Amino acid sequence: MELAEFVDRLDEELRTDAYADLDASANGLQVGPDSAEVEHVAVAVDGVQETFERAADAGADALLTHHGISWGGFDRVTGRTYDQVETLLENDLALYVSHLPLDGHQELGNAAGVADVLDLEDRAPFGELGPEYIGQRGVAPESYTTAQVRERLETSLEGRETPVQVLEGGPDELEEIAIITGSGTDWLAEAEAAGADALVTGEGKQKAYHEARERGLTVFLAGHYATETFGVRAIQERLEEWDLETTYIDIPTGL
């Protein structure tokens, strides 16, 4: 497949343009030539030196990551940025990035993957960011206890190295659950307004402890990395449907 076709198909699938003015990440092709062939694609959560090297060692032509190397552009290509770009160029490795588009995609996204783990029904977009959404919410098939939600997350999320931390502020029975992967505690007010009993996210902030209790919400902090493997995994399956060879690179951070 031509690199240009590869990029166009991903941009269309992930609605990359819709997030252009909302995301600090430069989504889409961040590093790549005008023309190249793509037969083997590596996927990973983080676009960092180790994933670049492992993708090159696997013989990949392109690497798709959730977190890239351009956040608002480069002032200078020096130091760490130079080393990363040099590795990509020396190995003819194109870098495609999908940050918020891959969080909010209602079928392939990270939040959708967490919703699958919890078997949520009656799903709807959640986590407003301008005219778009970066998460998902739904209803449990039957009410969960806090312990049941924590167990599902701990046993099903990849890259978990520590127990899921819980801020207990919600009811004993959890039915309406909102999800924003990564860092999502800024959406506690929206979760309350939507009638949620709980919010599942990756990591928290100090202020979230009291805010969750005051808003009557239970918050599950399941790990930034662990909540964001779903999107690249789902894209990997889609790439294989396009007859591309794939490699998944797993480098858990424990965070």
Are 110 and 183 within one domain? yes
Cβ(205)–Cβ(247) below 8 Å: no
Q: pLDDT digit string (tens) for 57-114?
A: 999 999 999 999 999 888 889 999 999 999 999 999 999 999 999 999 999 999 999 9
**CATH number of the domain residue 113 falls in:** 3.40.1390.30
Tell me whether residue 237 is in a domain. no
- Is residue 213 a contact partner of residue 222, using CB atoms and an 8 Å limit? no
66 is in an annotated binding site: yes
- Nearest CA-CA partner of 112 in 230, 198, 239, 232: 230
**Which tokens sit at 147?**
């312990």
Q: What is the spatial distance between Cα 104 and Cα 149, in angstroms, rounded to a whole number?
A: 21
Residues 139 and 218 in one domain: yes
| Bridge-based pairing state of the strands 62-67 and 40-46 | parallel
- If you average pLDDT over every residue of the chain, what do you get? 96
Place of tokens 């005051």: 214
Residue 99 known to bind ligand: no
User: Judging by beta carbons within 10 Å of its beta carbon (0-12, 13-18, 19+), is residue 53 exposed, middle or buried?
Assistant: middle
Judge if 189 and 130 occupy the same domain.
yes
Owner of token pair 């190995």: 91
The total number of structural domains that make up the chain: 2
| 228 assigned to a ligand binding site | yes
Q: Is there a domain that residue 46 lies in? A: yes
Same domain, 120 and 171: yes
Last residue within a domain, chosen from 83, 98, 113? 98
Domain identity same for 62 and 75: yes
CA dist 128 → 52, 115, 178, 188 (Å): 32, 17, 12, 12
Retrieve residue 113's tokens. 């993957």
204-250 residue pLDDT tens: 999 999 999 999 999 999 999 999 999 999 999 999 999 999 999 99
Q: Flag whether 84 is in a domain.
A: yes
141-159 pLDDT tens trace: 999 999 999 999 999 998 8
Whether residues 221 and 112 fall in one domain: yes
* Domain encompassing residue 175: 103-227
Report whether 46 contacts 251 (CB < 8 A): yes
210 is in an annotated binding site: no
The 10s digit of each residue's pLDDT in 181-214 is 999 999 999 999 999 999 999 999 999 999 999 9
Can you tell me the mean pLDDT for 44-53?
Answer: 98
Asked whether residue 30 falls in the same domain as residue 62, the answer is: yes
* pLDDT above 80: residue 161: no
Cross-strand pairs, 46? 67
The answer to whether residue 159 sits within a structural domain is yes
